Amino acid sequence: MAYRASSDRTLFLITSLLSIFGLVMIYSASSVIAATRHDGMSAYYFVRQLIWAVMGYALMIVLMNTDYHLWQREKLIKILLAVSVVSLVLVLFQPALNGAHRWLRYGVISIQPSENAKLVLLVFLAAYLHKHAAEINEPWRKLMPCLAVVVVLAALIAVEPDLGQALCVLLMAAVLLFAAGLSWKYVGAAVLFSLPLLYFLVLRVRFRFERVVAFLNPSHDPMGSGWQISQALTAIGSGGVFGLGLGASRQKLFYLPEAQSDFIFAIVGEELGLVGASLLCIAFVVFFYRGIKIALRAPDPFGFYLALGITLMVVLQAFINISMVLALAPTKGIALPFISQGGSSLLLNLMAAGVLLNISNHADKAA
């Protein structure tokens, strides 16, 4: 089914603009630190992201012209799940970076398996719910096998450690299961079961507990655990309404750690002000609106669950990242989709957008 220019031009345009804007902001946020770390190559991170963007855009074009029902094949899903599990296990044996095992590296190429696992899980859930939604409240026959796959992938991501991504996976799965008709009693049981687990994973782990304290009181330890969020809030506050101007950020000058990745929204707020930050938020709202519309118009349950999952994957991650930068949620390593530096994340999101556009094409044909 070929892509038609008249179909979902808004989603295609928003995805393209977000990716281009991300490249601009990565160069702005990283040029100084890149020049320092890489022998004066101020465009180092920009060029790397540009290469991933070109590959991702090419794959998006291919996937939006590829029938999404391809991903419904049981054999393909099993292969993708197996590759995801193996990758998530292999990454645990890689050298740690910033205390975490999240990347598979080969030379200058690095891949984050947790990003790929999210899309693979969405494909699995969409296919599973397409077949078994009517029986999803049968706990042992249908619900538990589905939850086993979700829990295994989430657990492997959590032990990297990357609790933020693991929680994103669980939230996406929970919404899809609820949309399929999962009973409230199972939702309540899952919440009750997760509370003691979260207590031990968050409040009993020192660095996570310190992040919670910094979230509750950003000025608690401004030179320690509260440094990153304090610098992010300083960046956003100094931007005012219209910002200091593109490239004029002061916090990116070695004050704000990870300025080009997890905290790039703070640089957007500093350089482009409330106006620029608000327009970026509006872009994600438009993405959410278009994605939900595509899901509701999908010609079959598989398309509905897959479109809903992809939309949630992008928008939920954006909401968590922005909330984190604004000190509305504890600090965690979650990228801003299409914007943050990170090739695996950009590639994955562009591929997902291509699948979403193809579902829209089929919805147009069925309408």
The predicted pLDDT at position 200 comes to: 86
| Phi-psi category of residue 41: left, alpha or beta, with phi > 0 → left and psi -120 to 50 → alpha | beta
Alpha-carbon distance of 167 to 39, in angstroms, equals 38
pLDDT at residue 323 is higher than 70: yes
Q: Which helix (DSSP H) or strand (DSSP E) does residue 290 occupy?
A: helix 264-297
Distances (CA, A) of 234 to 118, 238, 327: 33, 6, 11
Q: Which residue has the tokens 């603009």?
A: 17
Model pLDDT for residues 18-27, shown as the tens digit of each residue: 999 999 999 9
Mean pLDDT of 93-98: 80
Instruction: Say which residue, 210 or 14, is predicted with more confidence.
Output: 14
Backbone angles phi, psi at 104, to 5 degrees: -95, 125
CB 308 within 8 A of CB 179: yes
Per DSSP bridges, beta strands 109-111 and 104-106 are antiparallel
Residue type at 254 in one-letter notation? F
For residues 243 and 245, give the distance between their C-alpha atoms in angstroms, rounded to a whole number. 5
Predicted pLDDT of residue 163: 87
| E-only strand ranges, 96-197 | 104-106, 109-111
Give the separation between CA 90 and CA 113, rounded to whole angstroms: 9
Q: Which of 359, 348, 342, 355 is nearest to 102 (CA)?
A: 342
Residue 72 binned pLDDT confidence (cut-offs 50, 70, 90) = very high
Residue type at position 136: I
Residues 195 and 188: their CA atoms lie apart, in Å, by 11
Q: In whole angstroms, what is the distance from residue 246 CA to residue 243 CA?
A: 8
pLDDT tens-digit series, residues 34-64: 998 888 889 999 999 999 999 999 999 999 9
> Confidence class of residue 7 from pLDDT cuts 50, 70 and 90?
low
Query: What is the residue-averaged pLDDT of the chain?
Result: 90
pLDDT digits (tens, 9 = 90+) for 153-178: 999 999 988 888 999 999 999 999 99
Give the separation between CA 109 and CA 111, rounded to whole angstroms. Answer: 7
Q: What percent of the chain has pLDDT over 90?
A: 65
Lowest average pLDDT, out of 180-194, 202-216, 278-292, goes to 202-216
Q: In sequence order, what are the residues at sequence separation of 6 or more whose Cβ sits closer than 8 angstroms to the Cβ of residue 153?
A: 84, 85, 88, 117, 121, 169
Q: What are the tens digits of pLDDT across the range 183-198?
A: 989 888 888 988 888 8
Rounded CA separation 305/362 (Å):
14
Mean pLDDT of 126-141: 92
Threshold 0.75, pTM exceeds: yes
E strand residue ranges, 124-190: none
Mean pLDDT, rounded, for 348-358? 96
Residue 226's pLDDT band, with cuts at 50, 70 and 90, is: confident
pLDDT in the model for residue 82: 96
Q: Compute the radius of gyration of the chain from its Cα atoms.
A: 20
Q: Please answer whether residues 165 and 331 qualify as being in contact, where contact means their C-beta atoms are separated by less than 8 angstroms.
A: no
CB 5 within 8 A of CB 61: no
Mean pLDDT over 68-91 rounds to 95
pLDDT of 208 > 70? The answer is yes
Residue 367 corresponds to which tokens in the numbers above? 């309408």
Condensed to tens digits (0 to 9), the pLDDT of residues 284-296 reads 999 999 999 999 9
What is the pLDDT confidence band of residue 4, given thresholds at 50, 70 and 90?
very low
